[in-house]
């Protein structure tokens, strides 16, 4: 007779106990063990054998967490695949539908995200989640009114970190940075050490708000707190580097940027590192970094992906490949309608010697009354090129007044141009006297 042994583990006997326990423990200093997202992925994978839609939705959600943690965009595609499977099993699965909007946002398919969010909201109008995805999609498409309505509904249904951060962003674009800071502080308070990535993200955002108003010390404090919550967080590293550079501590800035780039080599981090080298007089090193950004653009083209306006701004800022800058900015403008896309288009048009359409785009960028030094700076130079010196001076003065450190490379240019614009007036006045 055949001998046998009874299976020692039934199918489905998950590592639930360990994983639940792990879920209760807050993330500590970065250790080589599995991250919270890794654990979430493992837990979700255990449940796939049942072949039910909710298991795939859980997997998709875990992939999204991983994408945030690691800044690896390939996880968006994985999340999408998992949701496809869930929807293949049940095309009306609500959780899959609402999560799909989120994934589409990550993939920058904003129109599809909007449609998905609306569909989910139609199914469950009382679910706060859908107002989050709606608000996000509307913002990207430039429909700020609708975004405000969605964000308000989210605040009404479920106040907390996700709602506060979105409302904070809208306060910023509507020109109320102190109000944004108030909400972000509240959001940071509501964060949990058991979800360190969200908390760190919020603190970085808070830091940006401080930086945008020239409060370097407060910004640095926020970024440092973010690093305490999630060591090696690349956003925090890059942002802190920017503060150090603004403070003139170029060596520290370079080191921090390098650390950030070692984690996630993104065009703006690499470009910023190049700017630091340039500011320190290290032209060769700077060029090396810029060449890498060029290369990234090449790779992106080769793979049919896009860095969006990051690359357009890089080219325009550094007067390289200006036609590509414009092309990329125009491409972006077909997919998004937010004020920062308008601004990138304006800047690219300006650098390509087309001040009239640039002025129109810059005007659109400032339509909400946002108090943003970079927007003002671009508008200023564009106005100058369009032969409106007084307007130009106004914009430049505003820019420097809002944040004199707004960009390591551009701020000195702004100062110089403002001085030049002011100088003729003095000469005239001096002459009269």
Partner 1 sequence: MHTRRRYTLAAAGLALGLWAVPAGAASHREAPLMTLDPGADITDVYAFVSYDADNVARPLAERRVTLIMNAVPGQEPGSGPNYFAFDDNVLYVLHVDNNRDGVAEDVSYEFEFNTQVENPDQFLATLGGGPLPPIDTLDAAGLSRKQRYTVTEVRNCRKGGRKCDRTVLFGGKALLTVPSNIGPRTMPQYEALAAQGIYTDPDTNIRVFAGQRAETFAIDLGAVFDTLNLRRPLPAQSAAEDADDTKNPFGFNNFSGFNVNTIALEVPITRLTKDGKAPTAETGTIGMYASTSRQKETVRRGAPAINPKKPPRELLRGEKRFVQVSRMANPLVNELIIPIGNKDLWNATEPEDEGLLLRFYQNLQVADALQAVSGVPVPPKPRDDIVHLLTQYADQKVSDPPFAELLRLDTTVDPTPVDKIRRLGPFAHDADGKATPDMAGFPNGRRPNDDVTDLVVRVAGGKNYIENFVGDGVGIQEKGITPAFPFLPTPYDGRDRKHLDPGE
Partner 2 sequence: MKTASLTLAMTLLATVARAHPLGNFTVNRYAALRVERGAIGVHYVVDMAEIPTFQERKLIDANGDQTIDAAEQEAYVAGRVAELARNLTLTVDGAALALDADAHALEQPPGAGGLPTLRLEAWLSAPLDPTRGAVAFADRNFAGRPGWQEVVAEGSPGMAVTDSSVPRVDRSRALRAYPADQLQSPPQVTEARFRISPGATPAPAAGSASPVRIGAARFSDRMTELIATRAPLGPWLVFTSLLVAAALGALHALSPGHGKTVVGAYLVGTRGTARHALFLGLVVTATHTLGVYLLGILTLTASAYVVPERLFPWITAVSGLIVLAIGASLAASRLQTALAGHAGAHHHHADNHTHLHPQDHHHGHDHHAHAHLPPDGTPAGWRSLLALGVSGGLLPCPSALVVMLGAIALGRVAFGLLLIVAFSAGLAAVLTTVGLVLVYARHLFDRLPLDGRLARFAPVASALVISLAGLVIVAQAIAQMGV
According to CB under 8 A, which residues from 175 to 204 bind partner 1? 176, 179, 183, 186, 189-195, 197-198, 201-202, 204
Residues 168 and 150: their CA atoms lie apart, in Å, by 13
Exposed e or buried b for every residue in 95-126, given b needs 16+ CB within 10 A?
bbbbbbbbbbbbebbbebbbebbeebbeeeee
- Smallest gap, in angstroms, from Cβ of residue 113 to partner 2? 19
**Composition of the chain by helix, strand, coil, percent to 5:** 75, 0, 25
Q: Which of 178, 179, 203 is nearest to 191 (CA)?
A: 203
Is residue 307 near partner 1 by the rule CB under 8 A? yes
According to CB under 8 A, which residues from 11 to 50 bind partner 1? 12-14, 16-18, 20-21, 24-26
Computed from CA positions of residues 427, 429, 430, 433, in that sequence, does the dihedral angle turn out positive or negative? Answer: positive
The single residue among 26, 232, 367, 401 that binds partner 2, judged by CB under 8 A, is 232
Residues 159 and 189: their CA atoms lie apart, in Å, by 12
Q: Which of 94, 145, 102 is nearest to 121 (CA)?
A: 94
Packing angle of the helix pair 161-173, 196-212 (nearest 10 deg): 20
- The upper half-sphere exposure of residue 298, i.e. CA atoms within 13 Å in the direction of its Cβ, equals 6
- Looking at 125-133, 285-293, 379-387, 424-432, which segment touches partner 1 (CB under 8 A)? 125-133
Long-range Cβ contacts of 109-115 (<8 Å, 24+ apart):
110/137, 110/140, 110/141, 110/335, 110/336, 111/137, 111/141, 111/335, 113/137, 113/140, 114/138, 114/141
Could you give the string, one character per residue 317-346, with x where binding to partner 1 holds by CB under 8 A and - elsewhere? x-----------------x--x-x--x---
Q: Name which of partner 1, partner 2, none residue 88 binds, using a CB cut-off of 5 to 8 Å depending on partner kind.
A: partner 2
Packing angle of the helix pair 234-246, 250-263 (nearest 10 deg): 160
Could you give the string, one character per residue 365-384, with x where binding to partner 1 holds by CB under 8 A and - elsewhere? -------x-xx---------
**75 vs 210, which CB is nearer to partner 2?**
75
Q: Are 100 and 83 in contact (CB under 8 A)?
A: yes
The single residue among 68, 108, 215, 288 that binds partner 2, judged by CB under 8 A, is 288
The single residue among 56, 63, 205, 210 that binds partner 1, judged by CB under 8 A, is 205
The single residue among 19, 87, 89, 112 that binds partner 2, judged by CB under 8 A, is 89
Is residue 28 near partner 2 by the rule CB under 8 A? no
Q: Name which of partner 1, partner 2, none residue 389 binds, using a CB cut-off of 5 to 8 Å depending on partner kind.
A: none
Residues 336 and 343: their CA atoms lie apart, in Å, by 12
The single residue among 152, 213, 259, 282 that binds partner 1, judged by CB under 8 A, is 152
Q: Are 193 and 229 in contact (CB under 8 A)?
A: yes
Is residue 364 near partner 2 by the rule CB under 8 A? no
Could you give the string, one character per residue 302-321, with x where binding to partner 2 holds by CB under 8 A and - elsewhere? xxxx----------------
The single residue among 117, 167, 220, 296 that binds partner 2, judged by CB under 8 A, is 296
Is residue 131 near partner 1 by the rule CB under 8 A? no
Is residue 107 near partner 1 by the rule CB under 8 A? yes
The single residue among 46, 224, 282, 331 that binds partner 2, judged by CB under 8 A, is 331
Residues contacting partner 2: total by CB under 8 A: 62
Q: Name which of partner 2, partner 1, none residue 158 binds, using a CB cut-off of 5 to 8 Å depending on partner kind.
A: partner 1
According to CB under 8 A, which residues from 31 to 60 bind partner 2? 32-35, 38, 41, 45, 48-51, 56, 59
**DSSP per-residue string spanning 381-396:** HHHHHTT-HHHHHHHH
Inter-CA distances, 379 with 211, 344, 422, Å: 20, 11, 17
Q: List residues near partner 2 by CB under 8 A.
A: 1-7, 10-12, 30, 32-35, 38, 41, 45, 48-51, 56, 59, 63, 66, 70-75, 77-78, 80-82, 85, 88-89, 232, 234, 262-265, 288, 292, 295-296, 298-305, 327, 330-331, 334
């Amino acid at each position: 007779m055949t001998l046998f042994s009874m299976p020692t583990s039934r199918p489905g006997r998950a590592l639930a106990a360990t994983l639940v326990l792990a879920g209760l423990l807050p993330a500590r200093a970065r250790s080589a063990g599995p991250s919270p997202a890794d654990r979430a992925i493992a837990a979700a994978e255990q449940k796939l054998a049942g072949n039910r839609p909710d298991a795939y939705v859980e997997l998709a959600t875990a992939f999204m967490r991983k994408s945030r943690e690691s800044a690896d965009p390939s996880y968006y595609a994985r999340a999408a695949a998992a949701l496809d499977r869930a929807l293949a099993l049940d095309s009306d699965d609500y959780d899959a539908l609402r999560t799909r909007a989120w994934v589409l946002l990550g993939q920058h398919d904003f129109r599809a995200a909007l449609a998905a969010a609306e569909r989910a909201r139609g199914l469950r109008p009382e679910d706060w989640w859908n107002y989050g995805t709606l608000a996000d999609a509307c913002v990207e498409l430039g429909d700020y009114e609708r975004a405000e309505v969605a964000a308000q509904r989210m605040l009404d249904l479920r106040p907390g970190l996700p709602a506060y951060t979105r409302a904070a962003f809208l306060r910023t674009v509507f020109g109320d940075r102190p109000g944004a800071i108030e909400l972000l502080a509240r959001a940071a308070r509501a964060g949990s050490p058991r979800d360190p990535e969200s908390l760190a993200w919020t603190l970085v955002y808070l830091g940006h708000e401080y930086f945008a108003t020239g409060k370097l010390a407060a910004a640095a404090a926020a970024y440092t707190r973010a690093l305490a919550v999630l060591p090696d967080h690349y956003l925090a590293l890059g942002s802190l580097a920017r503060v150090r550079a603004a403070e003139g501590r170029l060596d520290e800035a370079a080191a921090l940027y390098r650390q950030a780039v070692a984690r996630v080599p993104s065009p703006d981090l690499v470009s910023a590192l190049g700017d630091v080298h340039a500011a320190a007089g290290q032209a060769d090193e700077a060029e090396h970094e810029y060449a890498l950004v060029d290369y990234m653009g090449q790779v992106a083209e080769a793979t049919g992906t896009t860095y969006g306006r990051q690359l357009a701004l890089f080219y325009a800022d550094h007067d390289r490949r200006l036609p590509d800058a414009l092309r990329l900015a125009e491409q972006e403008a077909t997919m998004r309608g937010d004020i920062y896309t308008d601004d990138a288009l304006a800047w690219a048009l300006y650098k390509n010697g087309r001040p009239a359409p640039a002025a129109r785009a810059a005007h659109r960028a400032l339509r909400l009354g946002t108090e943003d030094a970079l927007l003002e700076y671009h508008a200023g130079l564009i106005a100058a090129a369009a032969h409106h010196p007084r307007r130009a001076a106004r914009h430049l003065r505003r820019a420097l007044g809002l944040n004199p450190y707004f960009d390591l490379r551009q701020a000195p240019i702004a100062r110089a141009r403002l001085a030049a614009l002011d100088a003729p007036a003095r000469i005239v006045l001096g002459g009269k006297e």
